[in-house]
Amino acid sequence: MEINQHELYEYARQRLKQKKRLYFHFILFFLGSIFCIIANKLLNVKPEMDWYLWVITIWFFIFVLHFIRVFITDSFMNKKWERAQIDKLMLQQERKIEQLQKDIDKKNNTAQ
C-alpha cells in the first residue's frame, strides 16, 4: 500500500472509530436516561426531588460536546488542515528570514 493510501486508510479508520464511540455514547445516554427516570419515579430513589432531570441535562450537554467534536471540529481540523497550517507557518518563517537576510545585506552594502 502506498504511503498516501495508507494515510487515507488511517484517517478513515480513525473517523470510523470516533463515530462508533459517539453512537455508543448516544445509546448509553438513552438507556441511562431511561434508567434514571425509572429509578426516580418507579423505584422511589429520592422521589421528593426530580434529580433525574439534572443527570439527563448534564449528560446531554456532554453528549452535545462529544457530537460537536466528532462532526464539526474534527471534520475540518483534520490532517489536511494541519498540513495547510504548517505550510502556511513555514512560508511565513521563510519570508521573515528572507526579509532579515535582505536587511543584513543592505547594512553590509552601506557599511562598505
pLDDT for 8-32, tens place per residue?
888 889 889 999 999 999 999 999 9
**Is the confidence at residue 63, as pLDDT, over 90?**
yes
Rounded-to-integer distance, Cα 49 and Cα 5, Å: 56
pLDDT the model gives residue 112: 65
110 vs 38, higher pLDDT = 38
- Provide the pLDDT confidence category of residue 1 given band limits of 50, 70 and 90: low
Which amino acid does the sequence have at 90?
A: M
pLDDT the model gives residue 27: 97
Burial of 98 (0-12, 13-18, 19+ CB in 10 A): exposed
pLDDT the model gives residue 53: 94
Q: What is the DSSP letter of 44?
A: -
CB atoms within 10 A of CB 5: 9
